[in-house]
Chain A
């Protein structure tokens, strides 16, 4: 219990260093929140769009056909009378290969093969294909995939750089606090207790930064997402939100960062013999 009290008192005793550490952790967490929020939302939008397009089935000739071989408008309407469908969009279109454009909306994407079998039974010739709207889907999500790739790359950079900075700060911090560690050890504090104290300090700073970073990230992710998408043609809006999933991921990232710092501290402390530290100092 006293370790916790001592660690919390230490936060106030070493304001300068802790504020610097806090600013860096805050920046890492905010950047992670922004990238993860955008990435997760984009993923959700892509998934939703994929689901929509996987349910859209186009029935069209494989090549231009004329006369008897072509399916009539009535037949297309007849095809629409299926238990696998929630609706259909059938219209005459002189620009299309058969002069008619027919799109059917499946109840579930996995009903495609059953629906095709039904159409063949109802008289759909083999020279007509029954396919989902993959090309349209790929076109629709291209920008979103770009956005997701950008945010994912950025997230990796932030995490790698963040971990590197945390390790560096921990090493510097232990060097700076070597004397304090030497005194505590000379007083009889065990290595693991010293390490626990340092870990509590970094974890407390990380928790404060987590709360602040979540807030800042939530505010900044929408404008940043808009900024990235603004440069793209045919851009679509993504309503970015910080979900529970994002919060959990950030919490994981935060604990990971604090643990990296903790592990570095512990490994350094195990090398610290109080008599050597105090002799060096004196």
Chain B
């Protein structure tokens, strides 16, 4: 069973005429890294909002492990099943890094672990020192904030990681470190990692690359591979993402 499955999903903003995408069928499986590429404004972040349960499709359904997201408690889903890394970070700016992560664990009802110790461990993993962990978010650089956002998304050990431009503010070393984390999460821990990106480095390490253009999702070939025929993932093409 797919971790996430989109069935005939269409989306348009409330009151808007333009349809962002129509009749999309996609499947995302555990143990894989997916990247979604496309021009700004194409609807990539909108797709992530649907996958992370922040928004609902205009029509069609999004299933998480076979359950329709619009029929389950989406707060619980976000708190326990999905780890969301926002492009705009969305951290509590007047709280410290450690407080942000511990709060995330509290919301997720994480039990049986020393939350502070786990938070420090995660921060260390993304290269944030203990001294910086006690600083308020606003007193940290953009790159540091981005890594804290990543640590927070992993704090409750989610099955699904949804990331919107997670390496946008990172330097080369930190980008490599973060990509290694994503690879380990997918390939060693069997998580499903979905990343929206413009970065070639991120795209290069993905197991599947999807492009979104003019509301049409296409499965891109791997480097050196010939583009498969009819790799359009909207219903008109009657295809799903390759497994």
Interface residues of A (CB under 8 A from B): 2, 6, 9, 13-14, 180, 182-190, 193, 274-275, 278, 281-282
Asked whether B92 lies within 8 Å of A2 as measured between CB atoms, the reply is: no
11 extra A-B contacts, CB within 8 A, seeds A2-B106, A188-B108, A189-B79: A6-B106, A182-B90, A187-B78, A187-B103, A188-B77, A188-B79, A189-B75, A274-B54, A275-B49, A278-B86, A278-B88
Interface residues of B (CB under 8 A from A): 49, 54-55, 75-80, 84, 86-88, 90-92, 94-95, 99, 103-104, 106-108, 152
Asked whether A186 lies within 8 Å of B55 as measured between CB atoms, the reply is: no
Asked whether A187 lies within 8 Å of B104 as measured between CB atoms, the reply is: yes
Contact of B54 among A9, A13, A275 (CB under 8 A): A275
Helix, strand, loop or mixed for chain A's interface? Answer: helix
Asked whether B78 lies within 8 Å of A188 as measured between CB atoms, the reply is: yes
A282 to B164 alpha-carbon distance, docked (Å): 13
Asked whether B108 lies within 8 Å of A183 as measured between CB atoms, the reply is: no
Identity of the chain A residue whose Cβ is nearest the Cβ of B155 in the assembled complex? A187
29 interchain pairs, CB-CB under 8 A: A2-B107, A6-B103, A6-B106, A9-B95, A9-B99, A13-B94, A13-B95, A14-B94, A180-B92, A180-B94, A183-B90, A184-B107, A186-B54, A186-B86, A187-B78, A187-B79, A187-B152, A188-B77, A188-B78, A188-B80, A188-B107, A189-B107, A275-B55, A278-B54, A278-B86, A278-B90, A281-B88, A282-B87, A282-B88
Contacts of A278 in B (CB 8 A): 54, 86, 88, 90
Contacts of A13 in B (CB 8 A): 94-95
Q: Give, as a whole number of angstroms, the nearest-CB distance from B95 to chain A.
A: 6
A107 to B156 alpha-carbon distance, docked (Å): 77
Q: Give, as a whole number of angstroms, the nearest-CB distance from B134 to chain A.
A: 13
A281 to B77 alpha-carbon distance, docked (Å): 23
Given A13-B94, A278-B90, is A185 in contact with B99 using a C-beta cutoff of 8 Å? Answer: no
Most buried by A among B76, B79, B94: B94
Q: Give, as a whole number of angstroms, the nearest-CB distance from B20 to chain A.
A: 13
Asked whether A188 lies within 8 Å of B75 as measured between CB atoms, the reply is: yes
A190 to B76 alpha-carbon distance, docked (Å): 8
Contacts of A180 in B (CB 8 A): 92, 94
A282 to B48 alpha-carbon distance, docked (Å): 15
Most buried by A among B75, B77, B152: B75
Contacts of B49 in A (CB 8 A): 275
Given A183-B90, A275-B54, is A188 in contact with B76 using a C-beta cutoff of 8 Å? Answer: yes
Asked whether B95 lies within 8 Å of A185 as measured between CB atoms, the reply is: no
A83 to B87 alpha-carbon distance, docked (Å): 92
Q: Give, as a whole number of angstroms, the nearest-CB distance from A158 to chain B.
A: 33
Asked whether B99 lies within 8 Å of A186 as measured between CB atoms, the reply is: no
Contacts of A183 in B (CB 8 A): 90-92
Q: Give, as a whole number of angstroms, the nearest-CB distance from A186 to chain B.
A: 6
Given A274-B54, A275-B54, A275-B55, is A186 in contact with B90 using a C-beta cutoff of 8 Å? Answer: yes
A22 to B83 alpha-carbon distance, docked (Å): 37
A6 to B87 alpha-carbon distance, docked (Å): 25
A201 to B55 alpha-carbon distance, docked (Å): 29
Q: Give, as a whole number of angstroms, the nearest-CB distance from B157 to chain A.
A: 14
Identity of the chain B residue whose Cβ is nearest the Cβ of A281 in the assembled complex? B88
A239 to B78 alpha-carbon distance, docked (Å): 61
Q: Give, as a whole number of angstroms, the nearest-CB distance from A279 to chain B.
A: 9
Contacts of B99 in A (CB 8 A): 9
Identity of the chain A residue whose Cβ is nearest the Cβ of B14 in the assembled complex? A276
Q: Give, as a whole number of angstroms, the nearest-CB distance from A255 to chain B.
A: 27
Contacts of A2 in B (CB 8 A): 103, 106-107
Contacts of B95 in A (CB 8 A): 9, 13
A182 to B108 alpha-carbon distance, docked (Å): 16
Contacts of B88 in A (CB 8 A): 278, 281-282
Contacts of A189 in B (CB 8 A): 75, 79, 107
Q: Give, as a whole number of angstroms, the nearest-CB distance from A28 to chain B.
A: 27
Contacts of B91 in A (CB 8 A): 183
Asked whether A185 lies within 8 Å of B103 as measured between CB atoms, the reply is: no
Contact of B75 among A9, A190, A281 (CB under 8 A): A190
Contacts of A281 in B (CB 8 A): 88
Identity of the chain B residue whose Cβ is nearest the Cβ of A15 in the assembled complex? B94
Q: Give, as a whole number of angstroms, the nearest-CB distance from A71 to chain B.
A: 86
Identity of the chain A residue whose Cβ is nearest the Cβ of B49 in the assembled complex? A275
